[in-house]
Amino acid sequence: MERRQIVTFEGSEMDEEQRDMKAHKTYYQRVDFISNSLHGISQLCPCGSITKEIVDEEDTYDYLRGKRYFICKDFENDGLHYRQPWVMGAQEEVERLKQKVLRHENLLRECEALKAYVKMLVKRVSELERLL
């Protein structure tokens, strides 16, 4: 009987350890998601709160007092909320906008080529209609 109690006790320790491991894995997956999702200037934190711009007066940058951040309204230093230096967020946002402008320029070029093609087709159709 004592042996069964020990086995049961060890089994419950294993169950507790597995629950603990799953909880840690879930936590690290969330932190990984948040660190990979932090690009540009985000409007919402994964927790659902809005992000705002703040100046940390204690932190100095070059000769300027204070460092600017985009930070979650309900920020806690647990890795599950956004806190991004303003410079990094602005730089990533500019890069994202550059890519968007480049895509739009390419679309405009394609539209111009299509317009020329449509004009040529309309001209051919009108010539064919004249022949009939």
What pLDDT is attached to residue 127?
Answer: 92
Tell me: pLDDT of 1 over 60.
Answer: no
Q: What tokens were used for 61?
A: 């940058």
Any residues with CB less than 8 A from the CB of 84 and at least 6 apart, and which? 38, 42, 69, 70, 71
Poorest-pLDDT segment among 20-24, 61-65, 117-121: 61-65
Q: Which of 27, 29, 68, 32 is nearest to 51 (CA)?
A: 68
Global pTM? 0.47
- C-alpha–C-alpha distance, residues 37 and 39, integer Å: 6
What pLDDT is attached to residue 125?
Answer: 94
- C-alpha–C-alpha distance, residues 11 and 17, integer Å: 10
What pLDDT is attached to residue 8?
Answer: 47
Tell me the pLDDT tens digit for each residue of 35-77. Answer: 666 666 666 677 777 777 777 766 665 665 667 777 787 777 7
